Amino acid sequence: MAPLLSVKNLLVEFKTRAGIAKVLNNVSLDVHSGEILGVVGESGCGKSMTALSIMGLVPSPPGNVAGGTIELNGEDLLSASNKRLHQMRGKEISMIFQEPMTSLNPVFKVGHQIAEAILLHEKTTKSLAWERSVKMLDRVGIPEAAIRANSYPHEMSGGMRQRVMIAIALACNPKLLIADEPTTALDVTVQAQIFDLLRELQRETGTAIIMITHDMGAISELADRVAVMYAGHIIETGDTKDILSKPQHPYTRGLIACVPHLEENPSEERPYLAEIPGVVPPLTDLGKGCTFAPRCDFRTDDCTGSQPSLSKISDQHSVSCFNLNTVAS
Amino acid sequence: MSSIETQFIPKSQHPIVEAIKAFRQSWAGMLGLILLLLVILFSVAGPFIYAVDPFEIIWAPLTAPGVVANAPFGTDHLGRDVLAGLVYGGQATLFVGLTAGFLTITIGILVGAMAGYYGGGVDEILMRITEFFQVLPALLFAMVLVTLFTPSIYVVSAAIGIVSWPTTARLTRAEFLRIKNLEYVKAAQSIGARDNRIIWRVVLPNSLAPLIVSATLTIGVAILFEAGLSYLGLGDPNAFSWGMMIGAGREYILDAWWLVTLPGIMIFLTVLGFSLIGDGLNDAFNPRLRER
């Protein structure tokens, strides 16, 4: 089956004072309708930039999509007209952001903001749009939706605001929802609620979701497939089960090892939390070798020569590493 | 409706409604409002209660206030009634202040919004133009504009508007620069809103607070400006204004204090009124100040 969204060899560059920063390098990913793709990686690895590229919202200048293709249902988004992009955003692809506290316009009622998303894309009356926004609020689990639609964002908690954001994003039944760290700013119990909500809505509507996060826990809860990013490259991708149980790339292994777990008997001698030594290389100066090589325990001479390509190790699982055998043993 | 949850839902209030409530708590703002209402009452209702032609000669020149009953505030150097002049002058002064203020705000917001939102080349060009108007000596430039055309209160208003918009433009630009990078602007883009909509429906409403404060102060400044121009004899010769009364009376200041002092007090009270309202609005729009 043809994928809903197909990103191929995407290159995004930013002009900075230190030179050209290669924010995304040959990023390729497919999203099929009805699935949840998790994109993980540490800060600055290009997760959010991938999302903005798909939305056509890379700030330009200084940003610039230098190569590659993005296709939604076979339609090339990079060459689409502005008019077409405006039609598409919100209607076919929507996005929810990291900070529910600041993602809503503080001077309008939340019901108004959902209705606005509907009115931008559909010919309908204001009162019908309002009714639908009340329904949306109810669907995302806000009690007394008819009253709550009249609230201003500052009168709501973070979790409720993120629910409103989700209602706005899903108001026009998009085919693809990009969730950029939707729960990072929320506390743990609310996080779980939002995950449940996303999963439930996804099942009801069949919307595909790209879930961007740095939280391996969130991935294991939600995602069908995972793409792991490092310094603008996708370095491993596969089914969530495979990635979590049989991670192949040393970076993915490191990421999973870094997840702290609860101790049953916290004793005096607690083990140090695992970490990956070193830092992400500057994006303006990635060199020609594997971007992870400077931090990798399994580094060989091959690694400093060129960036390994993403190659399949099974039907669904691809990794970019030269030394898979040594890493595995 | 009577579930327990409903009781905890805060009663929603539009931010403007909240600001008005806060404004009413501010003594400065309320004092300014009262002052301004008095001035408006004096100038708008005055002519109906005190229907004396300010150009008509009614008594001997330079009669002091309180000497004759039909010129309670005295007469000027031509024997015209000062009170009538104050009443009619208020209309011209307020008209010029409001029109020039409106013009200033309109040009300022348009230029500032475009420069701040689009940035880059648009910003460069618009800001250089703004700076050009800023470095011109405002009073001289306004004088040139007024002398180029027949002086009338319309020309005077336009001239004041044209020289005073740069401050508003810079303020608007700064607000737009701050707000356009906030997440809710990105969120608006991500639901497919176009630039026009984002500028006027998302960014502008969120930058209104400082702009409203600045608009109030701008009207006060415009009134002072008009007084300055009229004082120099560049006002509308066919309309009485407080500035013109001061200008005409300045030669007699040692013999007839009331010619300069009375319109001076009126200008002072009006501008003070606008400034205090600006102060009150500033408190009202700034939730951090509101706590105190």
Residue B230: which CATH number? Answer: 1.10.3720.10
pTM of whole model > 0.90?
no
Nearest CA in chain A to B197: A120
Residue A251, judged by CB atoms within 10 A of its CB (0-12, 13-18, 19+), counts as buried
DSSP classification of residue A154: G
Say if the Cβ atoms of A121 and B9 lie within 8 Å.
no
* DSSP characters over chain B: --SHHHHHSPPP--HHHHHHHHHHH-HHHHHHHHHHHHHHHHHHTHHHHS---TTSB-SSTTPPTTSSTT-TT-B-TTSBBHHHHHHHHHHHHHHHHHHHHHHHHHHHHHHHHHHHHH-HHHHHHHHHHHHHHHHS-HHHHHHHHHHHS---HHHHHHHHHHHHHHHHHHHHHHHHHHHTTSHHHHHHHHTT--HHHIIIIIIHHHHHHHHHHHHHHHHHHHHHHHHHHHHTT-S-TTS--HHHHHHHHGGGTTT-THHHHHHHHHHHHHHHHHHHHHHHHHHHH-HHHHT-
The answer to whether the bond into A277 is cis (omega within 30° of 0) is: no
B209 chain-A contacts, CB cut-off 8 A:
none
- Tell me the shortest Cα–Cα distance from B6 to chain A, in angstroms: 7
Please, what sign has the CA dihedral across residues B282, B287, B289, B292? positive
pLDDT mean over B142-149: 87
Say how far apart CA A211 and CA A202 lie, in whole Å. 12
Residue B49 lies in a domain: no
- Tell me the shortest Cα–Cα distance from A12 to chain B, in angstroms: 19
Residue of A64, A101, A105 to mutate when probing chain B, most B C-beta within 10 A: A105
Say if the Cβ atoms of A108 and B187 lie within 8 Å.
no
What pLDDT score does B6 carry? Answer: 55
Inform me whether the pLDDT recorded for B2 exceeds 50: no
Pairing of strands A19-31, A36-40: unpaired
B6 chain-A contacts, CB cut-off 8 A:
144, 147
Residue B99 lies in a domain: yes
pLDDT mean over B1-17: 61
Q: Model confidence over B93-106: pLDDT tens digits?
A: 899 999 999 999 99
Nearest to A105 among B5, B120, B202 (CB): B202
Say if the Cβ atoms of A144 and B205 lie within 8 Å.
no
Residue B185 lies in a domain: yes
Residue by residue, pLDDT tens for chain A (329 residues) are 678 888 888 888 888 888 888 888 888 888 998 899 999 988 878 888 898 899 888 887 788 888 888 988 888 888 888 888 888 888 899 999 888 888 899 888 999 999 999 999 888 899 999 999 999 898 888 888 888 898 888 888 888 898 899 999 888 889 999 998 888 777 888 888 888 888 888 888 888 999 998 888 888 888 899 999 988 888 899 888 888 888 888 888 888 888 777 766 666 666 677 778 777 777 777 777 888 888 887 878 778 777 888 888 888 888 888 877 777 66
Inform me whether the pLDDT recorded for B224 exceeds 70: yes
Reference A244, options A263, A259, A234; nearest CA is A259
User: Domain count of chain B?
Assistant: 1
pLDDT tier for residue B192 given thresholds of 50, 70 and 90: confident
Residue with tokens 């004092």: B31
Cα separations in angstroms, A297 against A230, A258, A300: 16, 15, 9
Put simply, the chain A residues between 116 and 135 with a CB less than 8 A from any chain B CB are 116-117, 120-121
Residue B103 lies in domain: 79-290
Residue B230 lies in a domain: yes
Strand, helix or coil for residue A51: helix
A103 chain-B contacts, CB cut-off 8 A:
183-184, 186-187
pLDDT over 70 for what percent of chain B?
94
What pLDDT score does B38 carry? Answer: 92
Please, what sign has the CA dihedral across residues B146, B156, B122, B213? positive
Q: Model confidence over B78-124: pLDDT tens digits?
A: 778 888 888 888 888 899 999 999 999 999 999 999 999 998 899 99
Residue B229 lies in a domain: yes
ipTM for the predicted complex comes to 0.80
Strand, helix or coil for residue A93: strand
Say if the Cβ atoms of A152 and B12 lie within 8 Å.
yes
Say how far apart CA B223 and CA A2 lie, in whole Å. 69
Q: Model confidence over A158-210: pLDDT tens digits?
A: 888 988 999 998 888 899 999 988 887 778 888 888 888 888 888 888 889 99
Say if the Cβ atoms of B191 and A117 lie within 8 Å.
yes
Please, what sign has the CA dihedral across residues A98, A100, A102, A103? positive
Nearest to A155 among B12, B120, B183 (CB): B12
Residue B26 lies in a domain: no
Residue B252 lies in a domain: yes
Residue B154, judged by CB atoms within 10 A of its CB (0-12, 13-18, 19+), counts as middle
Strand, helix or coil for residue A67: strand
Residue of B180, B184, B200, B202 to mutate when probing chain A, most A C-beta within 10 A: B184
Reference A210, options A175, A234, A173; nearest CA is A175
Strand, helix or coil for residue A15: strand
Across chain B, mean pLDDT equals 85
B4 touches chain A (CB under 8 A): no
Nearest CA in chain A to B195: A86
CA angle B131, B137, B140 (to 5 degrees): 140
Say if the Cβ atoms of B3 and A117 lie within 8 Å.
no
Q: Model confidence over B44-60: pLDDT tens digits?
A: 888 888 877 787 777 77
What pLDDT score does B122 carry? Answer: 93
Inform me whether the pLDDT recorded for B292 exceeds 80: no
- Count CB neighbours of A46 within 10 A: 24
Say if the Cβ atoms of B186 and A99 lie within 8 Å.
no
Which region among A237-241, B36-40, B229-233 has the lowest average model confidence (pLDDT)?
B229-233
Inform me whether the pLDDT recorded for B169 exceeds 90: yes
A90 chain-B contacts, CB cut-off 8 A:
190-192
The tokens of A24 are what? 């995304």
Residue B126 lies in a domain: yes
Nearest to A94 among B183, B191, B202 (CB): B191
Which region among B20-29, B233-242, B280-289 has the lowest average model confidence (pLDDT)?
B280-289
